[in-house]
C-alpha cells in the first residue's frame, strides 16, 4: 500500500510532493521504523524525503545501539588503540574534510563542534591543523561517546535539537553525514546557523542522491544500496537551497569522493559481496579474513585520492556555508 503523500517539504515548506518509490530497509530494526515509508520528491526544491517518519525517541534509541551494531554506519573500527588509523575509510574522509576546511577558518584557535562525530576522525584532523582549538561533539553511540571523552573531547549525548540552544557559539560546526538523519532538517539548519559565531562556517556532507537514483541503478563499493536510516536525500541543488534558506551564505556546494557507476537491475539486486559476508560470517572470522592478502580490495588505502576529488558523478556532496558577520 502506498503511503499518503505529505504536503510539507522538510526544507522549503508547503509544496507538491511526487511519489518516487518504496523505502529500502536493511535491518529488522529499520523495518520497524521505516517499513511502511515511501520516498517523495519536492517539485519546488528537488529534495527527496521519506514519509511517514518515526518519532524522535525511537530514532535516538536506534542510533544509540542498533545503528552501529548492525553495520549500518560502515564502521569496523574495532581496534581503537590504533586511532586515527584504526579505520582508513574514516581517516581519509576526516583528512580530506580538514584539508578543504582549514583555509576557510579565520580563527587561529577555533571552537569546533561536530554533530554526529562518530569516533572523531574529523575532529582529530581539524585538531592537527589548529593546535589549541576547542573540540566538542554531539554523539549518541555509547562506544563512540566513551572513545571521544577518552581523547579529551567534550561530548553531549542529547539530541542536537535539545542541546544546541544551550551551547555557546562556535567558529566551525561540522555536520558530516548527519543532516539526512534529522526529522526536520530545515529547522536544524536554522538552529545551527544561530549557533555560529559571526563569520563562522558550517560544513555539511551528505550522500549524493541524484534524481536517477530513484528509478535507475547506481552503485559504489562505498555507498549503500539501502535508504535506511536516512530521512532526506539531497542533490547539490536541494542542499544548496536548504542552506541558503537557513540564512547562511553558501560558499561551496559540489559533489565529492569516489565516483558512482551505473549498473543493471540484475547486478544491483545481487548483494555486494562484502556486505553479504559481513552479514553471514561471524565478526571475528570476518575481521581475520579482511587482513588477508586476498581481501586487499576490501581495504582503503593510506591515502585514498578519490576522497579528495570534487565534481562529477560522485557519491557525496560537500558544502560550506558561512554566517555573515554581524
Which residues contact residue 94 at a Cβ distance below 8 angstroms, ignoring those fewer than 6 apart?
84, 121, 122, 123, 124, 125
Average pLDDT over the chain, rounded to an integer: 88
CB-hemisphere CA count at 13 Å for 296? 4
- Residue with the bigger pLDDT between 241 and 67: it is 241
Cβ distance 18 to 30 under 8 Å?
no
What pTM, to 2 d.p., does this model score?
A: 0.90
pLDDT in tens, 194-215: 999 999 999 999 999 998 899 9
CA 321 to chain centre: 17
Cα–Cα distance for residue pair 108/103, rounded to 1 Å: 11
Q: E strands of 120-272, at which residues? A: 134-138, 154-156, 170-176, 196-207, 218-219, 232-233, 249-259, 261-262
Report domain extents, the chain: 69-322
pLDDT, residue 214, reads 92
pLDDT in tens, 95-120: 999 999 999 999 999 999 999 999 99
The C-alpha cell 530545515 sits at: 186
pLDDT in tens, 137-150: 999 888 899 999 99
The fold of 69-322 is: Rossmann fold (3.40.50)
Amino acid at each position: 500500500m502506498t503511503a499518503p503523500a505529505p504536503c510539507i517539504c522538510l526544507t522549503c515548506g508547503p509544496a507538491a510532493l511526487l511519489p518516487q518509490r518504496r523505502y529500502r530497509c536493511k535491518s529488522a530494526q529499520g523495518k520497524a521504523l521505516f517499513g511502511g515509508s515511501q520516498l517523495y520528491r519536492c517539485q519546488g526544491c528537488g529534495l527527496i524525503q521519506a514519509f511517514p517518519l518515526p518519532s524522535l525517541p525511537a530514532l535516538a534509541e536506534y542510533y544509540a545501539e542498533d545503528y552501529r551494531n548492525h553495520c549500518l554506519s560502515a564502521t569496523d573500527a574495532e581496534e581503537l588503540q590504533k586511532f586515527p588509523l584504526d579505520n582508513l575509510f574514516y581517516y581519509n574522509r576526516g583528512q580530506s574534510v580538514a584539508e578543504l576546511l582549514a583555509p576557510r577558518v579565520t580563527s587561529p584557535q577555533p571552537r569546533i563542534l561536530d554533530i554526529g562525530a562518530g569516533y572523531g576522525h574529523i575532529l582529530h584532523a581539524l585538531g592537527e591543523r589548529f593546535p589549541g582549538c576547542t573540540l566538542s561533539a554531539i554523539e549518541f553511540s555509547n562506544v563512540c561517546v566513551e572513545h571521544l571523552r577518552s581523547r579529551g573531547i567534550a561530548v553531549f549525548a542529547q539530541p542536537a535539537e535539545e542541546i544546541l540552544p544551550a551551547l555557546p557559539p562556535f567558529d566551525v560546526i561540522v555536520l558530516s553525514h548527519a543532516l539526512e538523519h534529522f526529522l526536520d532538517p530545515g529547522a536544524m539548519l536554522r538552529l545551527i546557523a544561530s549557533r555560529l559565531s559571526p563569520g563562522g562556517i558550517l560544513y555539511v556532507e551528505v550522500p549524493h542522491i541524484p534524481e536517477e537514483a530513484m528509478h535507475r541503478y547506481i552503485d559504489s563499493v562505498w555507498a549503500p544500496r539501502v535508504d535506511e536510516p536516512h530521512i532526506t536525500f539531497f542533490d547539490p541543488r536541494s542542499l544548496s537551497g536548504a542552506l541558503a534558506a537557513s540564512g547562511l551564505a553558501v560558499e561551496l556546494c559540489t559533489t565529492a569522493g569516489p565516483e558512482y557507476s551505473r549498473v543493471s537491475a540484475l547486478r544491483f539486486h545481487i548483494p555486494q559481496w562484502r556486505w553479504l559476508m559481513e552479514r553471514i560470517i561471524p565478526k571475528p572470522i570476518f575481521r581475520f579474513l579482511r587482513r588477508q592478502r586476498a581481501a586487499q580490495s576490501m581495504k582503503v588505502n593510506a591515502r585514498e585520492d578519490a576522497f579528495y576529488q570534487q565534481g562529477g558523478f560522485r557519491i557525496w556532496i560537500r558544502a560550506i556555508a558561512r554566517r555573515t558577520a554581524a
